[in-house]
Amino acid sequence: MQLALLLGMTVALGPLALDAYLPAFPDIADSLGVGHGDVGLTLSAYVASLGLAQLVGGPLSDRYGRRVILFCGLAIFAVGALLVSQADSLTHMIVWRLIQGIGGAFCAVSVPAIVRDQSSGTDSARLFALIGLIMFVAPALAPTIGSLMLELAAWPAIFWVLALYAALLALVLNVALFRRLTPPTPVRTPVHTLVTNYMLVLKHPVTMRFIGLQALCFSAMLVFITNASFVYQEWFGLSRSLFSGLFAANIAAMACLNLLNRKLLQYFESAAILRTFVIIQAIAVVSLVICAWAALPYWAVAACIIATVGCMGASVPNNLANALEFFPRLGGTAAALLGAAQFSISGAVSALSAAVFGESLIAIVLTMAVCVFLALVLAIGAPASVRKALAALPDEDGGRPQRA
């Protein structure tokens, strides 16, 4: 439980940086003299950096250890947050968010690697689920924290709080986690294998199936997050407090389905549970498109969004466990490729939705629907592919694919 709590606090860094400043979008737009949709580019820049930098952080954590890379990430994140708070133009803010994303990436890639170091299979899925449950508190509270900070101070205060959180987290992890956790032996292979190890992951079709699933499902959610302020505060004209409440409802749904997933893991294989929830997500997003097309009231649209996003609470932990299952010694590398695909693809999709479709609700939800249905294509055959891959492994651990 302590391990899950500490790792959940670490993973929460990403959602906090994504969601805490959403209520401040109109204020930031006015402060920088840009359009509301342009502020969404700062979110997309952070997400893209958060993904691509994991390609560096993951292999480095395999070679030099989780602790070093995680603490470097926290330091870079905190400095980036302070620089963002001083931004006086959109260009500067985008650059500093890119730097902040690098720090976030080093933190994000370390958590699934630590989980894979300590567990595997269903145990790994359960640990990811528990971490996710703890982590969901952050995005649920983030817009509320952002709104509160706006009542007390200007928008830069939100990023001061993020920097402080990163600094305090470093102290807590140093005392409560790494002094008690027995780290695995770093993979002291030649430096060039930091790149070539990616080929081992890329050539594994089952792992790539789940990486694709994660990227597509996360893209659908990030399209909503990027446009949430526009949809609720501008399209439907809702107040900041109501916007924060509806946003928190998405996280509450994710938490509830996360709890349900933990129960289901006692009876069903994780890949089968994943497929079921992607199917449910597809049904929900179809309902969302219908509501948007029929111009129904905000509560109908919000209910469909909550159902669509809520399914992530059950699908993400199962996806992570299955994606990393075949790479116990290269958990950082596999997690990096998954994170890079997830955040870079979703960042590109969300940036497109913000820049091109930001003024149309129907276009936004159609983008979400395309992502979910592409994920459904991959999810249908997921359980069979996992069973086949596991059956093909030799009894000894030494035959696993990363030991080339």
Residue-level pLDDT at 211: 92
User: For residues 123 and 235, which has the higher predicted lDDT (pLDDT)?
Assistant: 235
The CATH number of whichever domain residue 237 belongs to comes to 1.20.1250.20
Query: According to the model, what pLDDT value does residue 380 have?
Result: 95
In this predicted structure, the answer to whether residue 365 has a pLDDT above a threshold of 80 is yes
306 falls within a domain: yes
d(CA 25, CA 301): 21
Q: Which of 40-54, 214-228, 340-354, 369-383 is the most confident on average? A: 369-383
Read off the pLDDT of each residue in 59-88 and give the average, rounded to a whole number: 90
Is the predicted pLDDT of residue 210 greater than 90, yes or no?
yes
Is there a domain that residue 402 lies in? no
287 found inside a domain: yes
Number of separate domains in the chain: 1
Q: Does residue 365 sit within a domain? A: yes
- Dist. CA 41–CA 231, nearest whole Å: 16
Average pLDDT of the residues of the chain: 84
Is pLDDT at 204 greater than 80 in this prediction? yes
CB-based contact 95:233 (threshold 8 Å): no
Asked if residue 132 is part of any domain, the answer here is yes
Alpha helical stretches, state H, 119-239: 121-135, 137-152, 156-176, 193-202, 205-229
Assess contact for 47 and 101: CB atoms under 8 A.
Answer: yes
Q: Judge whether residue 108 has pLDDT over 60.
A: yes
State pLDDT tens for residues 267-298. 999 999 999 999 999 999 999 999 999 989 99
Contact call for residues 135 and 11 (beta carbons, < 8 A) = yes
Q: Say what the pLDDT of residue 287 is.
A: 96
Over range 170-177, report the average pLDDT.
87
Give CA–CA dist 280/308, Å, rounded.
8
pTM above 0.95, yes or no: no
Nearest alpha-carbon partner for 85 in 14, 160, 153: 160
Q: Residue holding tokens 């091109």?
A: 356
Domain with 105, as residue range(s), is 2-181+190-391
pLDDT attached to residue 139: 62
Listed residue (115, 144, 130, 16) closest to 74, CA to CA: 16
Is 399 domain-assigned?
Answer: no
